[in-house]
Chain A
Amino acid sequence: AQKITQTQPGMFVQEKEAVTLDCTYDTSDQSYGLFWYKQPSSGEMIFLIYQGSYDEQNATEGRYSLNFQKARKSANLVISASQLGDSAMYFCAMRGSNDYKLSFGAGTTVTVRA
């Protein structure tokens, strides 16, 4: 079984500053993938970034980067230069190598202040 833990229910960040969203996971799979999604109030799930368990380098996508620490089983998302449009719910998710089903964390609400 896979478990995703996001311990920050909500965070406030000042515009143009960076914010780190925590995510820890637990799995017995040797090969797995970690995802981050953004869900604005409209409800759509926007894919942000992916990290494979065997990837040696941390994933980056524009202003998003994933701080992957395999030994600690953590996959924190860093959003740099926050913008007002970054205000949303953020979900960390994981899937194993066998069935491609995603397990989601509880989510973190980010509010960017002007």
Chain B
Amino acid sequence: SAVISQKPSRDICQRGTSLTIQCQVDSQVTMMFWYRQQPGQSLTLIATANQGSEATYESGFVIDKFPISRPNLTFSTLTVSNMSPEDSSIYLCSATWTSGIYNEQFFGPGTRLTVL
């Protein structure tokens, strides 16, 4: 298994500002992902964080709005840029392995973002 931590756990931000969320895994993982959960909704994948290269974004999400970095196998950041109240959500980091016997896919505790 893996333990994933996220910082900050929550934040209240002003419209037009940016927030960077950090995700740290306690072991090397193959894949890292960022999800968004809007209030009362299910989880939606934002992007796959690729080590040492640009993230792969899902339809409806763009790099200028959600820049992502992944410098190594255990760490990734997601920035929510030029925030608006519609960005108020829980942002979750997820990690998994692509080989071996591990089938679990783990999530961090989430970052609860409120934009005023």
Interface residues of A (CB under 8 A from B): 33, 35, 37, 42-45, 47, 50, 52, 91, 93, 95, 99-107
Contact = CB atoms under 8 A, between A and B. Distances in A.
A43 B106 contact: no
B90 A102 contact: no
A43 B110 contact: yes
A47 B104 contact: yes
User: A interface, by DSSP: helix, strand, loop or mixed?
Assistant: strand
B23 to A, nearest CB: 13
Interface of B: 30-31, 33, 35, 37, 42-45, 48, 90, 92, 94, 96, 98, 103-110, 112
Given A91-B43, A104-B43, A105-B42, A43 B112 contact: yes
Given A44-B110, A95-B105, A104-B43, 18 more contacts: A33-B103, A35-B105, A37-B107, A42-B109, A43-B37, A44-B107, A47-B105, A47-B107, A50-B104, A91-B42, A99-B48, A100-B30, A100-B31, A101-B48, A102-B45, A104-B44, A105-B42, A106-B42
Nearest to A91: B42
Contacts of B33: 100-102
